[in-house]
Amino acid sequence: AAIGLSRARRRAREPLALGALAAAEPALRCPSCLSDAVGRWLPAARRRLWLVVTALSVLLLRIAPASAAGAVGVDALCPHTLFKFLVCGGMGCCISHAAATPLDVVKTRLQSDPERYRHSVTGEKLGTLATGLQIAREEGSGMLIQGLTTTFIGYGVQGSLKYSIWEMFKVLLGFSHYTGAPRVLALVTAAFFAEVIASMFLCPFERVRVRLVADPNFASGPVSAMLRMVRLAGFRKGLYGDGLKATLVKQVSYTIAKLTTFTLCFEAISGIPELPRTVVTLLSSLVAGFVSSVLSQPGDTLQVCASSDSSLWNTRACPVDLSSSNSGKPSMLRMAQLLGWGGLFSGWKARLLQVEIIVVTQLLIYDGLKQAIGL
């Protein structure tokens, strides 16, 4: 009976599938029509993505075992415990990102003005160290810590929200009671919602930081830069503008990769007997840093191009006609096409070292503080 029901369902879906193929046939024969169709489909696709993620979250909440609301879950959701997660996450993020500020300056410069940092004789691109030395020689060593205050405050707020919300959603989704794919799905879903919320607070700080690093003459400090951006473009456009989508692409992919990889590696490595927890955290964070740097690099480059007067997108040749409007920058999707894979991964070597320093330092601090305060 079950086999017959399955066959009946497949037969019922066949006309729908054939109808979809028939509707898509004209677009498949015409590339420009296909491009227009994709352009119309993207906004709806974004809405569908949110609906899918929300539906998966509700599904996980509904099928979470009853024991997920047990003693451990109730304790993890109490305000006192959430405040501890908030403090641990904030400390880990602000210290780790502040420590990597010089590398962030080098990476941002390589992305915002790549033609400036080339060898005077050979014309080859300068490496991370050579670029840093040139910045210090031309603008003073203080330029290498440009945006330190904005980074410290912005990532302190973002880290506090991200880790506390992530821990809360893990409990709500019953993460500890799953195995296999549902366990990974719970991790990814928790990281997704945590980062989306945290990035709404981070985006203004990141726009100010990128603007000050790319154009030091824009303002005398972060407060004056933020006020000028609001004055020139209004509150929403000035503090979020074109940078919000790119920030979300970068931060969501980075956080999902980092927290999911770290958790899974930690669980796998911690099974090795007589291995100190600090070593387990260190090894897991190294793997998480590499994975998250690769997956979030395109979003990082798009963020720099969207938040500053970067010429990177305008200096790369594109094999198809992607002409933008008469003024302003192209959309984020077209900017990515203009850049190509080579442009999207511009400055990746500098950022890989930066991300490894950030992730390893951050997770060592976070895990160490959790142990110290009994979490």
What is the third-level CATH fold of 78-372? Mitochondrial carrier fold (1.50.40)
Residue 44 in this model has a pLDDT that exceeds 60: no
Ordered by start, the domain boundaries in the chain are 1-63, 78-372
Stretch 30-46: mean pLDDT: 40
Predicted confidence band of residue 322 (pLDDT cuts 50, 70, 90): very low
**Between residues 23 and 283, the one the model is more confident about:** 283
pLDDT in tens, 162-193: 999 999 999 888 888 878 888 899 999 999 99
**339-359 burial: b if 16+ Cβ within 10 Å, else e:** beeebbbbbbebbbbbbbbbb
Which residue stretches of the chain are H helix?
A: 2-29, 31-63, 71-77, 79-99, 101-112, 128-139, 148-172, 181-214, 222-233, 235-239, 243-269, 277-307, 332-344, 348-372
- Structure token pair of residue 266: 């930690």
pLDDT in tens, 232-282: 888 887 777 766 777 788 889 999 999 999 999 999 998 888 889 999 999
Q: pTM for the whole thing?
A: 0.69
pLDDT in tens, 86-131: 999 999 999 998 888 898 888 778 777 777 888 877 878 888 888 8
Q: Which DSSP letter does residue 116 get?
A: G
pLDDT in tens, 1-10: 444 444 544 4
Most confident of the ranges 174-178, 221-225, 256-260, 351-355:
256-260
